[in-house]
């Protein structure tokens, strides 16, 4: 067997005893939510929702008199810039990131702060004092993960309910000492922890990667539900690109970053002024076949998504919010300039989702644990795999493309200026998208049998690099550009 196809099992990526490995669905990797961060916004949001259920299991919410939130590690250091406090308040107030109205979102939080009143789960009123009830412990980190949060509810008899959760990247949340349960503990027909296993299944079943992944997905959903669910996720991505490419202004947070996607879109379309999403997409499709113009469109797509993300807009984790623009940009490129169909889009997402799952199991998709290689790097690898799949690549070429993309993101630090998901995060999505397209093109012209590095090897290397990396480069705003450039200079 060629070297690139041997079973190079990555080391245990967990830092405690939260084994066995989860069974991860593509719908765990792609999740609809609210920006700006899957780890710092969506994760704490989901954790707060879980906490309310834990409280309800022990006492009626009407008995709650106060809820305190203690944020630790990276959640404390960059939580305000990432909207962690906002996410917790909205979650406790009964709002959901998939269905909440994103317009006026920050105004609703400010009203709760100003009035000093929070309606727990949307109904039970409790006193709320921001400075007393949300605490940022910037000098304390919990042992399991850099993104720790403890919720404490005080009941009417002075007893308490307290739970600790960890936001482990991509909107995934685990409770302290929790083992996989429910859907994440299900036995799959093709259990996959390493790329080599996936490749072996493809060979034994005479299948492509989406075919194997689809059979696993049927463990959770019918084929109709899978197809309609994935297309709905694509439609959310598509709509996000449209909104970003048609919205001007300045991003919130104090850096005064000017939005660029809309201006770039108008420049590329010239005198054409489409009135809606379908018309706009059609205009792009027939607009050009010039390399430079296509490259600018890819950048516009990626910028659009992450500008929306920075404004607390609705986005899709892919696999995180900070990297949410890479995969939509590459999918939009494929649909507009490679004429792929809905069926191709499904194949793209199934292949990309499985690659994301491999990185989550074998390394991390959390920038607080692995730096930006865990976000932009993983999203680029996923996009490269998906694009290679829909352009006719073999299973070996699909995994080779993912390896190439990550190989050239190894060691990327996460150093957000001002703790905001804006500089350099937004532009990094354009870089990740272009690298993904390049990786796919290289893989499609290569023989995986001649590869010297396997995807399993690069995942293991990424995790080792993450462990070796200084914590100041892991979403703390304590290193790199975050300290080289002051907020006032921006």
Closest to 145 in 3D by CA, of 163, 168, 174: 168
pLDDT value of residue 186: 80
Residue 19: pLDDT band with limits 50, 70, 90? very low
Residue 271: pLDDT band with limits 50, 70, 90? confident
Mean pLDDT of 219-233: 97
Examine the domain organization and report whether 207 and 145 are in the same domain: no
Number of domains in the chain: 2
Angle between helices 395-407 and 342-362 (to 10 degrees): 60
Residue 2: pLDDT band with limits 50, 70, 90? very low
Last residue of a domain, one of 135, 154, 175: 175
pLDDT tops 90 at residue 308: yes
- Kindly report the average pLDDT of the chain as a whole number: 92
Measured on CA atoms in the order 185, 188, 191, 195, is the torsion positive or negative? Answer: negative
Q: Report d(CA 36, CA 425) in Å as an integer.
A: 11
3-state secondary structure of 329: helix
Examine the domain organization and report whether 201 and 150 are in the same domain: no
Examine the domain organization and report whether 83 and 121 are in the same domain: yes
In DSSP terms, which residues pair with 154 in a beta bridge?
Answer: 66, 160
Examine the domain organization and report whether 391 and 481 are in the same domain: yes
Residue 183: pLDDT band with limits 50, 70, 90? low
Whichever domain contains 170, its CATH number is 3.30.1330.90
Examine the domain organization and report whether 145 and 221 are in the same domain: no
Whether 6 is in a domain gets the answer no
| Contact (CB, 8 A) for 393 and 443 | yes
| Residue-wise pLDDT tens digits, 80-108 | 888 999 999 999 999 999 999 999 999 99
pLDDT value of residue 180: 54
pLDDT tops 90 at residue 176: no
| Contact (CB, 8 A) for 369 and 406 | no
Mean pLDDT of 199-222: 98
Residue appearing with tokens 């919205």: 247
Mean pLDDT of 178-189: 69
Examine the domain organization and report whether 171 and 191 are in the same domain: no
| Residue-wise pLDDT tens digits, 242-252 | 999 999 999 99
pLDDT tops 60 at residue 287: yes
Percentage above 70 pLDDT, the chain: 94
| Residue-wise pLDDT tens digits, 99-141 | 999 999 999 999 999 999 999 999 999 999 999 999 999 999 9
Examine the domain organization and report whether 319 and 430 are in the same domain: yes
Q: Report d(CA 424, CA 412) in Å as an integer.
A: 12
Percentage above 90 pLDDT, the chain: 87
Whether 208 is in a domain gets the answer yes
Mean pLDDT of 321-346: 97
Examine the domain organization and report whether 297 and 329 are in the same domain: yes
Q: Report d(CA 368, CA 476) in Å as an integer.
A: 7
Range of the structural domain that residue 101 is part of: 35-175
Residue 175: pLDDT band with limits 50, 70, 90? very high
Last residue of a domain, one of 142, 175, 208: 175
Q: Is the preceding peptide bond at 424 cis, omega within 30 degrees of 0? A: yes
pLDDT value of residue 16: 37
Mean pLDDT of 188-207: 97
Sort residue 254 into left (φ over 0), alpha (ψ -120 to 50) or beta.
left
Whether 18 is in a domain gets the answer no
Whether 469 is in a domain gets the answer yes
Examine the domain organization and report whether 473 and 427 are in the same domain: yes
- Cβ neighbours around 174 below 10 Å, total: 21
CB within 8 Å of 490: residues ≥ 6 apart: 255, 256, 257, 417, 418, 423
| Contact (CB, 8 A) for 363 and 462 | yes
Mean pLDDT of 432-451: 98
pLDDT value of residue 468: 97
Examine the domain organization and report whether 92 and 122 are in the same domain: yes
Whether 3 is in a domain gets the answer no
Examine the domain organization and report whether 206 and 316 are in the same domain: yes
- Number of residues that make up the chain: 490
Residue appearing with tokens 């072996």: 200
Whether 230 is in a domain gets the answer yes
Residue 489: pLDDT band with limits 50, 70, 90? low
Examine the domain organization and report whether 250 and 128 are in the same domain: no
Burial grade of 204 (CB within 10 A; 0-12, 13-18, 19 or more): exposed
């Amino acid at each position: 067997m060629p070297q690139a196809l041997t079973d190079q099992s990555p080391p245990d990526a967990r830092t405690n005893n939260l084994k066995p490995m989860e069974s991860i669905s593509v719908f765990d990797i792609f999740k609809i939510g609210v920006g700006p961060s899957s780890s710092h916004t969506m994760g704490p949001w989901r954790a707060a929702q879980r906490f309310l259920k834990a409280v309800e299991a022990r006492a009626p919410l009407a008995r709650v008199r106060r809820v305190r939130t203690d944020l630790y590690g990276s959640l404390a250091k960059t939580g305000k810039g990432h909207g962690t406090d906002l996410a917790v308040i909205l979650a406790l107030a009964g709002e959901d990131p998939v269905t909440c109205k994103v317009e006026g979102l920050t105004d609703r939080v400010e009203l709760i702060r100003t009035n000093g009143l929070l309606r727990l789960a949307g109904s039970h009123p409790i006193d709320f004092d921001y400075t007393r009830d949300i605490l940022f412990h910037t000098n304390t980190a919990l042992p399991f993960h850099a993104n720790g949060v403890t919720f404490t509810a005080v009941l009417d008899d002075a007893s308490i309910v307290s739970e600790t959760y960890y936001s482990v990247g991509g909107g995934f949340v685990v409770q302290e000492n929790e083992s996989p349960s429910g859907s994440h503990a299900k036995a799959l027909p093709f259990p996959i922890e390493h790329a080599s296993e996936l490749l072996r299944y493809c060979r034994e079943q005479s299948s492509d990667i989406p075919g194997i992944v689809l059979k696993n997905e049927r463990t959770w959903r019918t084929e109709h539900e899978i197809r309609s669910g994935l297309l709905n996720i694509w439609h959310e991505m598509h709509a996000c690109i449209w909104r970003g490419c048609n919205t001007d202004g300045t991003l919130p947070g104090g850096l005064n970053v000017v939005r660029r996607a809309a201006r770039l879109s108008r420049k590329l379309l010239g005198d054409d002024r489409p009135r809606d999403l379908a018309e706009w997409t059609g205009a792009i499709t027939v607009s050009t076949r010039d390399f430079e113009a296509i490259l600018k469109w890819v950048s516009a797509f990626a910028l659009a998504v992450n500008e929306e993300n920075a404004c607390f807009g609705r986005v899709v984790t892919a696999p995180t919010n900070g990297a949410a623009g890479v995969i939509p940009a590459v999918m939009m490129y494929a649909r507009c300039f490679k004429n792929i169909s809905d069926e191709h889009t499904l194949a793209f997402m199934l292949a990309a989702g499985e690659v994301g799952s491999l990185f989550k199991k074998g390394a991390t998709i959390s920038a607080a644990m692995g730096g930006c290689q865990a976000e932009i790097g993983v999203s680029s690898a996923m996009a490269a795999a998906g694009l290679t799949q829909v352009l006719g690549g073999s299973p070996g070429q699909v995994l080779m493309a993912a390896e190439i993309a990550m190989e050239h993101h190894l060691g990327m630090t996460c150093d957000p200026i001002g703790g905001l998901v804006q500089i350099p995060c937004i532009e990094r999505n354009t870089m990740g998208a272009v690298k993904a397209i390049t990786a796919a093109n290289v893989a499609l012209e290569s023989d995986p049998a001649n590869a010297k590095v396997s995807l399993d090897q690069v995942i293991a290397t990424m995790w080792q690099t993450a462990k070796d990396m200084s914590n100041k480069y892991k979403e703390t705003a304590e290193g790199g550009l975050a300290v080289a450039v002051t907020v006032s200079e921006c």
